[in-house]
Structure formats: C-alpha cells, structure tokens
Amino acid sequence: MMGDIYAIYLRELIRLWRQKARLITMIMMPILWLGIIGNAFNNAFRIPMEVNFISFLTPGILVMTMVFTATISGITTVFDREFGFLKEMLVAPIKRESILIGKMLGGVTQAVFQGIIIILLALLMGVKFEGIASIPGMLLTMFLVAVSFVSFGLAVASKITSMEGFQMVMNFLIQPMIFLSGAFYPTKMLPDWLKAMVKINPLSYGVDAMRYFALGIHEFNIVADLAILSIFSISMILIGGHFFRKS
C-alpha cells in the first residue's frame, strides 16, 4: 500500500514540475501579494495594532495562498476524470484509499512549499517573527490548513465533472471564508453580526493560530484554534474519503 501511495504522490509532484506555468505562478503569487499588495496596504491603512500592518498581513496571506493552492489541487482529480486516467486508477489493483492519500499528500506538499516561500520572502522584507521557537507551531498550522483544504477540494472534485464547474464552486465557497477569516484586518473591527460568521468560519482559527505563532498576537485561544483546526481536518478527510470512494 505504501508503494501505491508513493507512486500517486510522486506523480502529483512530477506533474507540478512539468507544468512550468503553474510552478512559476506558485512562486510569483506570494511575491505579488507580499511585495506589491502588502506594501500598498501597509501604506494605505494605519490601523492601531501591536505590529506594523505588513507583519500583521503576512500570516493571513500565507494561509490564504495555501488555501488556494490546496483547493486547486482538486482540479487534478477533475482533469484525470475528464481524460480517463482516473478510471484507469480506479480499476487498477490498488485501494482507493491509496489514491486518495497519495493525491492528498501531493496537494499538502505543494501548499506547504508555497507557505515556506512566503515565510522566506517575509523575512527578506524585514518581517520579524517570534523566533526559531515559532517555526514548529507555524509548520503544524500550515499542515492542518493544507490537509483540511486539500481534502475539501478532493471532496468537491469527486462530485463535479468539469474544471469550469469546479473553479466556480470553489471560488463561491472559499472567497467568503478568506474575507471573513481576519486575513486582511483584525476581526474585532467588524460589526457584531459579521463577528458571529467569523466564529463559525474554520479558516478564522487557522489565520489566528498562524498569527499567534508568527507574531505572538491572537484574538482567540490558541488551544481552541488548534483543536478546531484538527477537528475540521479530520472531518474533511472523512468526508473527502467518503465521496472519493463513492465516485
């Protein structure tokens, strides 16, 4: 089984390496968000807070770009279905769980890779993290966020047969979650009716945990952040696995 998982995982990474446009986009998007949009926001907004705005923005951008990369990895499943390769994998003498885990690990690796690029870019731009002790917590949060939304993307991809439909559905679901997660601004600035939506948004706890480990500031309890992220991750794995087995 481990050999089957590794074969699917390796295929996902080879596919990324061969798709140069996608690989370059993964590297350029963090540069665009932090280098251009981050600095523009930093100069445009003067919000009273413990750190400068670009430092505050960095964990939010990190989580946001990872979420997009993680969910878009579901497109590979739709692509495989459209071109018949998924059917070949499903009738092969390997377990469907191996296909699911291999694809999930491939998506998680890509998302975490992009997150590391953002951390390095932020350091070059002068963002001060909490220190070396913050790295394990940031990596844990990155892993939980990546697993959650890769599984979420695979679950949606298992029910949608076209790449256009997948992109429309994912944009409809993910964009509100990002804007209500506190990625771009402190959620305490929002009206009460929006704060309630922030609290039921699982991505809010990913952004909050990342900001806690990176900068030492947070709006929720860090134990609650990690607990909710873990529960959401497990739920998405189970739902994604169920839908994938039924496909």
Secondary structure, 3-state, the chain? CHHHHHHHHHHHHHHHHHCHHHHHHHHHHHHHHHHHHHHHHHHHCCCCCCCCHHHHHHHHHHHHHHHHHHHHCCHHHHHHHHCCHHHHHHHCCCCHHHHHHHHHHHHHHHHHHHHHHHHHHHHHCCCCCCCCCHHHHHHHHHHHHHHHHHHHHHHHHCCCCCHHHHHHHHHHHHHHHHHCCCCCCCHHHCCHHHHHHHHCCHHHHHHHHHHHHHHCCCCCCHHHHHHHHHHHHHHHHHHHHHHHHHC
- pLDDT, position 131: 65
Mean per-residue pLDDT, 101-125 = 82
- pLDDT, position 192: 79
Give percent of the chain above pLDDT 70.
80
- pLDDT tens column, 36-80: 766 666 665 555 556 677 778 888 888 888 888 888 777 777 766
Evaluate if residue 20 carries a pLDDT over 80.
Answer: no
Of 156, 5, 148, 164, nearest to 67 by C-alpha is 148
Evaluate if residue 82 carries a pLDDT over 70.
Answer: no
Q: Higher model confidence: residue 169 or residue 247?
A: 169
Give percent of the chain above pLDDT 90.
2
Decide: residue 88, CB within 10 A, 0-12 exposed, 13-18 middle, 19+ buried: exposed
Evaluate if residue 225 carries a pLDDT over 60.
Answer: yes
Mean per-residue pLDDT, 20-31 = 73
CA distance 203 to 17: 29
Q: Contact 75/163 with Cβ under 8 angstroms?
A: yes
- pLDDT, position 115: 84
User: How do the domains of the chain map onto residue ranges?
Assistant: 2-246
- pLDDT, position 86: 62
- pLDDT, position 12: 73
Mean per-residue pLDDT, 215-244 = 85
